[in-house]
Amino acid sequence: MSETEIKLMIPGPVSVSPEVLQAMSQHVVPHYGDNFIHFYNETLDLLKLVFKTNQNMFLYVGSGTAGIDACVGSSLAAGDKIIVGSNGFFGDRLIWIAEGNGLIVVPVKVNLGSVLDPADFLQAVQDHPDAKAIMAVHLETSTTIINPIKEIASIAREYDMLMIVDAISSIGGVPLKFDEWGLDLVATSINKCLGAPPGLSPIAVSQRAWKSINASPPKNHGWYSDLRTWNKYATEWADWHPTPVTMPINNIAALNVALKQLMEEGIENRFKRYQNLAIQLRQGLNLIGMPPMTPDHLINPVLTAAYGPEGVPYKPDRSISC
Ligand SMILES: *Cc1c(COP(=O)(O)O)cnc(C)c1O
């Protein structure tokens, strides 16, 4: 099998197109100067179309989790209270990240395979009006459940709390509207629905989030992972060196091409194409005795989990407790 024929049938990273691969193999160029500024800003503008936002965006260097960690640590101080939803492996990781940043966590949990319930968040904010933020996963990859982020965010808005979202496996394949839904900090990764190689975590930050990030006392979140550092370079050195550190140029070049391919197809068209493929996949799985894990009304356009055929043993549980 030639490399171009490799088809990764895993939640991520995903196989990238030949054009994206081609972009990666270009010369290494500086992460500053006119040429860089042009394609860096173009890439950010394309990302804003996908996030549906006019707010600041950053290309944070690292995996998606690095982006989430920077969002949490930059906007909240040790001792702050946060309400964290979890219905699976990555929700539990958000709890772990919050605790790792010294936050007091109010967990909002439902059973594996269930959807997070906005009513539970309403109860949690009423029980904990001193909480500063709500955090949840958009697409819980471990169970393929898509959580009602729009509804949960409206509770955050009503109670004046920040809304932080792990949209690592959803953005580019599942609708998310940063501005319209009133989200505050959202991080994703470029190697899932955005169709680029791993290495960058695009982050969107609202004006409300900036108020929190800039509030005294400072958050003591190091230097690299403090979003204030990234913003300082993005503003003060905007015209020649917009990031605090050396950027993985080739990954940005690859992302740029992947985003242009998404725009060429049309975001809505891509959503529809994935949805249609998921419907066909689910039909096929049912036919071979591997029913999809979620009922039809909880169809996930980008990720399908299925039960194994009868008589075939499942893999052991590999979850990590936190
Ligand atoms: C893949 C995934 C992660 C982990 O992303 P990394 O890029 O490996 O840090 C976190 N959350 C969700 C929902 C994911 O699907």
Is residue 177 located within the same domain as residue 144?
yes
Closest CA to 248 of 205, 204, 196: 196
Is residue 56 located within the same domain as residue 203?
yes
Beta bridge partners of 163: 134
What confidence tier does 318 reach under pLDDT thresholds 50, 70, 90? Answer: low
Can you tell me the mean pLDDT for 135-149?
A: 97
Q: Ligand 1 centre and the CA of 232: distance in Å? A: 27
Can you tell me the mean pLDDT for 31-60?
A: 97
Residue 42 predicted with pLDDT over 80: yes
The pair of structure tokens assigned to 131 is: 């909480």
Is residue 78 located within the same domain as residue 134?
yes
- Ligand 1, residue 140: give the atom nearest the CA: 13
Does the residue 9 lie in any domain? no
- Ligand 1, residue 169: give the atom nearest the CA: 15
Give the tens place of pLDDT for each residue, 91-134. 999 999 999 999 999 999 999 999 999 999 999 999 999 999 99
Give the tens place of pLDDT for each residue, 158-209. 999 999 999 999 999 999 999 999 999 999 999 999 999 999 999 999 999 9
Is residue 184 located within the same domain as residue 156?
yes
Q: How many domains does the chain fold into? A: 2
Among 84, 141, 164, residue to substitute to test ligand 1 (most atoms within 8 Å of Cβ)? 141
Does the residue 245 lie in any domain? yes
Does the residue 86 lie in any domain? yes
Can you tell me the mean pLDDT for 71-77?
A: 97
The distance from CA 205 to its chain's CA centroid, rounded to whole angstroms, is 13
Is residue 125 located within the same domain as residue 221?
yes
CATH number, domain of 168, equals 3.40.640.10
Is residue 251 located within the same domain as residue 282?
no
Q: Ligand 1 centre and the CA of 169: distance in Å? A: 7
- pLDDT at position 264 is 98
Is residue 235 located within the same domain as residue 120?
yes
Does the residue 7 lie in any domain? no
Does the residue 257 lie in any domain? yes
Q: Ligand 1 centre and the CA of 33: distance in Å? A: 32
Can you tell me the mean pLDDT for 128-141?
A: 98
C-alpha span between 183 and 191 (Å, rounded)? 22
Is residue 149 located within the same domain as residue 255?
yes
Helices (H), 215-307: 227-236, 249-265, 267-287
- Listed residues 215, 240, 261: the one ending a domain: 261
Is residue 300 located within the same domain as residue 165?
no
SS3 202: strand
CA 149 → CA 174, 179, 217, 281, distances in Å?
12, 13, 30, 26
- pLDDT at position 101 is 97
Does the residue 140 lie in any domain? yes
Q: What domain range is 35 assigned to?
A: 18-261
C-alpha span between 126 and 72 (Å, rounded)? 22
What confidence tier does 317 reach under pLDDT thresholds 50, 70, 90? Answer: low
Ligand 1: list residues with CB < 6 Å.
Answer: 11-12, 63-65, 90, 137, 139, 141, 166, 168-169, 189
Can you tell me the mean pLDDT for 229-258?
A: 97
Higher pLDDT pick, 1 / 203: 203
What confidence tier does 1 reach under pLDDT thresholds 50, 70, 90? Answer: very low
Is residue 159 located within the same domain as residue 283?
no
How does the average pLDDT of the chain come out, rounded? 95
Output the pTM of the full model. 0.96
